[in-house]
A and B are shown apart, each in its own frame.
Chain A
Amino acid sequence: DGGITQSPKYLFRKEGQNVTLSCEQNLNHDAMYWYRQDPGQGLRLIYYSQIVNDFQKGDIAEGYSVSREKKESFPLTVTSAQKNPTAFYLCASTSDAWGPGMANEKLFFGSGTQLSVL
């Protein structure tokens, strides 16, 4: 089955620790995204990548880092610099990345990772 797989489902971080959230897709999508969701709030964009080996900061990139070495994978690292990391993290992908005329594809989401601080 094609889709987006996020792991782990639950993750706990100790003070001063970096943790990495995994996101893998087999949809052959070019564009991938990381969103953060806090209770009662909409999704906020952390980072996005339109093509392999390239990524851009979103609205709340501070304290996070990403890599895009393979088309299928877009891991997110929550660093110790992120002082309030407790949230639900969602990875998404879409087949369109460039220009008008290609921009009307739906966004597909993974099932999310709940990150909590110990």
Chain B
Amino acid sequence: KQEVTQIPAALSVPEGENLVLNCSFTDSAIYNLQWFRQDPGKGLTSLLLIQSSQREQTSGRLNASLDKSSGRSTLYIAASQPGDSATYLCAVRREDNQGGKLIFGQGTELSVKP
């Protein structure tokens, strides 16, 4: 059974710091991995999607990497800003594509202090 874990559960950093969020998964047979952002009381917004054949994806100050064989992904945020404060969730899609279902981690709550 695929399990997705995100550590730490919460992270607080000063503005301007570069930071890394971690995501690990137990079954390497994934089709892709997505990173999402969730603001309090809101839905999720997809930030980056990495296909299983890719090693990384970049969007602005965000860079996501994928090491499928070791079951790990990281989300790198450069020059963090208070507006980056949110919960970040990762989710994997099974290789057998079971109805497109995603399996989510519990999320990392990020707070960027001015």
Chain A residues proximal to chain B, CB less than 8 Å: 4, 6, 31, 33, 35, 40-45, 48, 50, 56, 58, 88, 90, 92, 94, 96-97, 99-100, 103-104, 106-112, 114
Contact = CB atoms under 8 A, between A and B. Distances in A.
Interface of B: 4, 9, 31-32, 34, 36, 41-46, 49, 51, 89, 91, 93, 97, 99-102, 104-107
Nearest to A38: B106
13 contacts: A6-B43, A31-B99, A33-B101, A42-B4, A42-B106, A42-B107, A90-B43, A103-B32, A104-B32, A107-B36, A109-B36, A111-B42, A111-B43
Contacts of A99: 97
A108 B97 contact: no
B34 A107 contact: yes
Given A58-B101, A99-B97, A103-B32, 16 more contacts: A31-B100, A33-B100, A35-B104, A40-B106, A41-B106, A42-B89, A42-B104, A42-B105, A43-B44, A43-B89, A43-B91, A50-B100, A96-B100, A104-B49, A107-B36, A110-B43
